[in-house]
Amino acid sequence: MKLTCPACGAVASAETWAAEVAARAALPGDMADVVLAYLALFRPAKNGLSWSRARKVLATLDEIIRRGHISVDRKPARPCPPAIWAEGLLAVRERFEAGALTTPLKNHNYLRAVVYDLAERADAKNETEREHQRRAGIHRPRPEALPESARAELARLGLGKGGSGFAAKNEGSPT
């Protein structure tokens, strides 16, 4: 991907410009190399990507990554950390290289759909793990880990060590 310097008109690859401090500062976080490969998908077929267009693409990408969640087509929002975005950026680039994607991209909608699928799978995996922990009782804090006031309340209710308390308190009550 070739970019043109707005000041002098010099044309160089995006990788060259990324070596510049100001250009690298424009790229989101640890994902600079992945973002550069994705940014190349916005390059028009017959000329280089202008700085103003690159800046807009990067600004909107940075904005949607910083939200920390993703939602598309009125589907429920899913948590979406930067690692999922990086995985999505790589997946989009791989799909382009496999010939499954036409360029130039006009917006981030394709990326958002790919990332949403990844985030949804990760969220489902996390939910399954939480459910397994809940069923195993791992989610419940051990009494000794509770603050003194909570332990005292459990003891008052008869729910401390050694007894359920619930059955004893509710014996003879209507069901």
Query: How many helices and strands (H and E) does the chain possess?
Result: 8, 4
Rg of the chain, C-alpha, whole Å: 26
State residue 169's pLDDT score. Answer: 45
Confirm whether 166 is domain-assigned. no
pLDDT at 94: 93
- Of the candidates 132, 134, 154, 128, the one whose C-alpha atom is nearest the C-alpha of residue 143 is 154
173 Cβ contact partners less than 8 Å away, ≥ 6 residues apart: none
Q: Which residue has the higher pLDDT, 78 or 10?
A: 78
Residue 11 pLDDT > 50: yes
What pLDDT score was predicted for residue 5?
66
For residue 79, tell me if it sits in a domain: yes
Using pLDDT thresholds of 50, 70 and 90, give the confidence band for residue 155.
Answer: confident
Kindly indicate the confidence band of residue 166, based on its pLDDT and cuts at 50, 70 and 90: very low
- Residues 14-72: pLDDT tens digits? 767 666 656 556 655 667 778 888 988 998 888 878 888 888 999 999 999 999 999 99
For residue range 114-151, what is the model confidence (pLDDT) as tens digits? 999 999 999 999 889 888 888 887 766 566 667 777 77
Burial zone of 47 (CB within 10 Å; 0-12 exposed, 13-18 middle, 19+ buried):
exposed
Cβ atoms of 61 and 108 within 8 Å: the answer is: yes
Which residues constitute the domain of residue 14? 2-158
Residue 164 placed within a domain: no
Residue 175 lies inside a defined structural domain of this protein: no
Report the Cα–Cα distance between both ends of the chain, in Å, rounded.
73
- Determine, yes or no, domain membership for 167: no
Instruction: Give the phi and the psi of residue 49 in degrees, each rounded to 5.
Output: -80, 125
**3-state secondary structure (DSSP) of residue 4:** strand
Q: Report the pLDDT value the prediction gives residue 24, as an integer from 0 to 100.
A: 58
- Region of 151 on the Ramachandran plot (φ > 0 left; ψ -120 to 50 alpha; else beta): alpha
Does position 85 have pLDDT exceeding 90, yes or no? yes
3-class secondary-structure state, position 67:
coil
| pLDDT score of 139 | 63
Would 171 be classed as within a structural domain?
Answer: no
Rounded mean pLDDT, 95-100: 92
Looking at the 3D structure of the chain, how many domains does it have? 1
Residue 154 lies in a domain: yes
DSSP for 103-151 reads: SS--SSHHHHHHHHHHHHHHHHHHHHHHHHHHHHTTTSPPGGGS-HHHH
